[in-house]
Structure 1
Amino acid sequence: MGGCAKSRNQIADDVLLSKHERLRLENFTSKTNIRDVYTFSSVLGKGGFGTVKLAALKNGVSDKKVAVKIIEKNRLKNKQYILLRELEILRSLDHPNIIKFYEVYQDEMFFYICMEYCAGGELLDRITKARNFREQDAALIMDKVFSAINHMHSRGIVHRDIKPENILFVSKSPDSEIKIIDFGLSVKCDGMKDLSTMVGTPLYVSPNVLRGRYDSSSDNWSAGVILYVLLVGYPPFYGKSRGEVFRKIEKGVYNMEGKEWDTVSSEAKDLVRKLLVVDSNKRMTAAQALKHKWIVKHKKIQEWTQFKHFSTIGSMDQIDPKILTMLQNFRQPTKFKNEVMKILINQLNEKEIEQLKFAFKQMDTEQTGEIGIDQLKEVMEQNGFKQTKEQLEKIIRSISPNQDGKDLVIRYSEFLAATLDSVVYLKSEKIWSLFKYFDPSNSNFITIQDLKEIFLRNGRNIPEEELKQMVKEVDPNNDGKISLEEFKLLMKGEDIDFKS
């Protein structure tokens, strides 16, 4: 589906565009030759603006591969704001089931967005091979999809193209984690109800989008279509032409009859009916879907299996006390170490963080992808940790700084960084690799210019004074650069002897 004609409502749809058009995209991307940093291999896919290729860091923190979205500048023409919007949205999202953004580069002909690589293929491929899923498997997939959508919507972001092709498996394992990808059509909505641009994929688009007036609930309709397909292997709306499909969507005409539906539970059918509702005001939200009895029943089975795998504690209400102790004792690191930990977290694979991710999901009872102060208080008390509100606020501010104070939360990546056992992960080889990542000039020192380059790769233009302060915090001899020895002391948490 293409865009509709410009209208007054479309101004509300693309509320950020005027701001984005004033920003110069080149100020937020690295101009280093990406082929000096990455080795490219196979093509993963092709789209309207370019190609996605598999790549690996030449001097990597690990052997983890990345997916690089290569976008032709000529195809963007005067619409570079679309790319900037996608980058800002990717950077603002932080959830176990949303693709991670790593770096961004550009040269004369292309922009390059480096993202998490998922080796397990598309959900569409698994649907095609399986025809229809066991309800347990379908429920677990939908739980993760709804959780990711709930996170997006809680941050005022509408995806606008939720479909099986945009849901990837991290690995080829049957119980692989999933990630929602492709935020090229996404937009920040901020609660307004007058999005109007007709975008999306015909079989999954909501009737409200077709009518040119919609909000975030359009994503929930799309999720309902995916659930329908998972249960029986074919879509709810079909016809001989696109027009016929759209007419059925607008009227909400579908059925749940036939031999495929005979074995589907009444609870699953109930969830489908509550999502495929033409009136968006009556349509179930992602937050409500997460509490639906069909989702909850199957999720409890999975949680119990995971709990037995990870824990020696007697009750599922309890969390590994070591993790809670690390949260309680966490002290805000230097700004530089904080940035290093972000890179480390991005480089760890799903297996390495699965226990921490399970603990995070146990604590994130609202499934927004964030842990609020009330959730933290409840978990701490259940596990015998007594904290005042002021102490809890201090913990959250240490783990997730730079918050405005209204709704303090611990974000997913920051939770991982705070609870990661550095003794386990920061071996000498890993420290050296991390050090070299922050040494793009290959001088065996980390300088202010090195940091500036690394932040540009991460889509951030940091003022030089702030960069100087980062270096100064971990530079005892005050020579304006960080040596490997200084870096080791920082990462191992040992005191640095600053000379007067």
Structure 2
Amino acid sequence: MSFPMKRVATTEEDSPGKRWGGSSIVLEVQVYNTDTNTGETAEVPAESVPSSGGVSQDEIKLLLGHTCKVDLEAKYLRLQRLEQSSSICVNAGMRRSDGLSRLNGRRYCIPTEVVLMHKAAGGPELVGKSAAVNLLDWYDVDDVIVLVMERPILSGNLLRYMNENLDLRDESKAKIIMKQLLEAAIDLQKKGVFHRDLKPENILIELSPAVPRVRIIDFGSGCIFNNNRYYYLPGTHTHAPPEFLKRGEYTPGPITVWQLGVLVFEMLDTSRRFSTQGFLKKEIQIKMELSYECQDLLRRCLASKPQDRATLKQLQQHPWLNPTTSTIFDYYFF
């Protein structure tokens, strides 16, 4: 059983008076059409799906999903359209009610994105606790897969935030976001999740009274993490690392560091989008107006050879993010 990767999505806002995990929520529903590009599922034996031992019915329901279209329409009401592109449509909406689900001893085909989101953020009872957005529910109805997800209130994607808040004159805001992105990337790796498409459109910035908070969305290009080489790269090829363009292969750590470097580059040069081909041809270059520390971090992320890139842990200790560690780094400029 497989599901194509073309997505149409709706978002659902919690109705007045409803609460999930002690705070009001916004849900997002993603619908996968089955007429294009085959996607992935994970076949899970029933015995490997927790059924007792302190595991809640909510967690069981989350993993197994539902197949009743009537239940879906009874629980969620679609409202006004918020966003649309060639492959995704986002609508506001409202949750009406909840349902229950039980195991029956069968083997289950679970969409990979469901597995990844559960590994990354946990169940509905943990809404808002991790950088990854939470999956609240999902349905397999007719010829579509519907994912019901948390949508943080007062948030927008990083692309919009960059255009409105970031520029070369102020690196401090980019540092706040980069620190959180590094923490999120390391946390996902520990949980066995490989996102594979970290870009401004897949990162929400949740605005709070204190500092902007990073939330990771859209695990549709992701897979289970391992240290093997990968030969298929879904997602944004304009940001693909040099090793994929040259040899058609990549590994999780170096490509994640490359994508984080691209994010910092775009956060501090909002005049244009990054292109790997343009960067390799030196049509796009690191701005000399940036601080020496920032230039060094970008070069350590955007090294053309994957073995020359810093690791995620090394980046956490970089002097641009931690000025007190500057003495243990040797700056180099090309």
Q: TM-score, normalising length from structure 1?
A: 0.45
Return the alpha-carbon distance in structure 2 between the equivalents of residues 142 and 136 of structure 1: 10
Correspondence 1:205 to 2:205: no
Name the one with the larger helix percent.
1
For residue 59 of structure 1, report the CA deviation from its aligned partner.
4.5
Correspondence 1:128 to 2:163: yes
Structure 2 vs 1, CA of residues 18 and 233 (structure 1 numbering), >3 Å: closer, same or farther? closer
Equivalent residue number for residue 255 of structure 1: 285
For residue 47 of structure 1, report the CA deviation from its aligned partner.
5.8
Structure 2 vs 1, CA of residues 19 and 99 (structure 1 numbering), >3 Å: closer, same or farther? closer
Indicate the structure (1 or 2) with the bigger Cα radius of gyration.
1
Correspondence 1:56 to 2:94: yes
Correspondence 1:87 to 2:87: no
Equivalent residue number for residue 102 of structure 1: 136
Equivalent residue number for residue 230 of structure 1: 267
**Is the contact between residue 147 and residue 287 of structure 1 (CA under 8 Å) also seen in structure 2?**
no
Return the alpha-carbon distance in structure 2 between the equivalents of residues 213 and 128 of structure 1: 33
2:302 to 271, 276, 287: 276
**Is the contact between residue 230 and residue 250 of structure 2 (CA under 8 Å) also seen in structure 1?**
yes
Return the alpha-carbon distance in structure 1 between the equivalents of residues 223 and 173 of structure 2: 30
Equivalent residue number for residue 139 of structure 1: 175
Equivalent residue number for residue 67 of structure 2: 31
For residue 44 of structure 1, report the CA deviation from its aligned partner.
3.6
The secondary structure found in structure 2 opposite 1:56 is strand
**Is the contact between residue 156 and residue 188 of structure 1 (CA under 8 Å) also seen in structure 2?**
yes
Structure 2 vs 1, CA of residues 235 and 49 (structure 1 numbering), >3 Å: closer, same or farther? closer
Return the alpha-carbon distance in structure 1 between the equivalents of residues 220 and 42 of structure 2: 18
Structure 1 runs of 4+ aligned residues shifted over 6 Å read none
Structure 2 vs 1, CA of residues 91 and 237 (structure 1 numbering), >3 Å: closer, same or farther? closer
Return the alpha-carbon distance in structure 2 between the equivalents of residues 293 and 274 of structure 1: 12
Structure 2 vs 1, CA of residues 109 and 19 (structure 1 numbering), >3 Å: closer, same or farther? closer
Equivalent residue number for residue 256 of structure 2: 219
1:265 to 291, 304, 316: 291
Return the alpha-carbon distance in structure 1 between the equivalents of residues 40 and 142 of structure 2: 24
Counting matched residue pairs gives 252
The secondary structure found in structure 2 opposite 1:295 is coil
Correspondence 1:41 to 2:87: no
Return the alpha-carbon distance in structure 2 between the equivalents of residues 27 and 140 of structure 1: 34
Correspondence 1:294 to 2:320: yes
Equivalent residue number for residue 179 of structure 1: 215
The secondary structure found in structure 2 opposite 1:169 is strand
**Is the contact between residue 42 and residue 111 of structure 2 (CA under 8 Å) also seen in structure 1?**
no
For residue 127 of structure 1, report the CA deviation from its aligned partner.
1.4
2:146 to 112, 115, 119: 112
Long gaps (5+) in structure 1: 4-15, 61-79, 239-244, 299-500
**Is the contact between residue 157 and residue 188 of structure 1 (CA under 8 Å) also seen in structure 2?**
yes
Structure 2 vs 1, CA of residues 155 and 251 (structure 1 numbering), >3 Å: closer, same or farther? farther
Structure 2 vs 1, CA of residues 291 and 27 (structure 1 numbering), >3 Å: closer, same or farther? closer
For residue 101 of structure 1, report the CA deviation from its aligned partner.
1.2
For residue 160 of structure 1, report the CA deviation from its aligned partner.
1.4
Q: TM-score, normalising length from structure 2?
A: 0.65
Return the alpha-carbon distance in structure 1 between the equivalents of residues 173 and 41 of structure 2: 43
**Is the contact between residue 159 and residue 186 of structure 1 (CA under 8 Å) also seen in structure 2?**
yes
Return the alpha-carbon distance in structure 2 between the equivalents of residues 208 and 185 of structure 1: 19
Structure 2 vs 1, CA of residues 235 and 274 (structure 1 numbering), >3 Å: closer, same or farther? farther
Structure 2 vs 1, CA of residues 232 and 19 (structure 1 numbering), >3 Å: closer, same or farther? closer
**Is the contact between residue 120 and residue 171 of structure 1 (CA under 8 Å) also seen in structure 2?**
yes
For residue 222 of structure 1, report the CA deviation from its aligned partner.
1.0
**Residues 254-311 of structure 1: CA distance to partner in whole angstroms, max 9, x if unpaired?**
4234xxx42x21111111111001111221122221121221249xxxxxxxxxxxxx
Return the alpha-carbon distance in structure 2 between the equivalents of residues 204 and 222 of structure 1: 7
**Is the contact between residue 123 and residue 167 of structure 1 (CA under 8 Å) also seen in structure 2?**
yes
Percent identity, aligned pairs only, is 22
The secondary structure found in structure 2 opposite 1:105 is strand
Name the one with the larger strand percent.
2
Return the alpha-carbon distance in structure 2 between the equivalents of residues 54 and 101 of structure 1: 17
The secondary structure found in structure 2 opposite 1:197 is coil
Return the alpha-carbon distance in structure 2 between the equivalents of residues 189 and 145 of structure 1: 17
For residue 153 of structure 1, report the CA deviation from its aligned partner.
2.0
The two structures, once aligned, show a CA RMSD in angstroms of 3.5
The secondary structure found in structure 2 opposite 1:88 is helix
Return the alpha-carbon distance in structure 1 between the equivalents of residues 233 and 313 of structure 2: 25
1:20 to 43, 46, 60: 43
**Is the contact between residue 100 and residue 115 of structure 1 (CA under 8 Å) also seen in structure 2?**
yes
Return the alpha-carbon distance in structure 2 between the equivalents of residues 279 and 84 of structure 1: 34
**Is the contact between residue 209 and residue 218 of structure 1 (CA under 8 Å) also seen in structure 2?**
no
**Is the contact between residue 251 and residue 278 of structure 1 (CA under 8 Å) also seen in structure 2?**
no
Long gaps (5+) in structure 2: 6-38, 47-61, 99-107, 122-128, 325-334
2:269 is matched by which residue type in structure 1? V
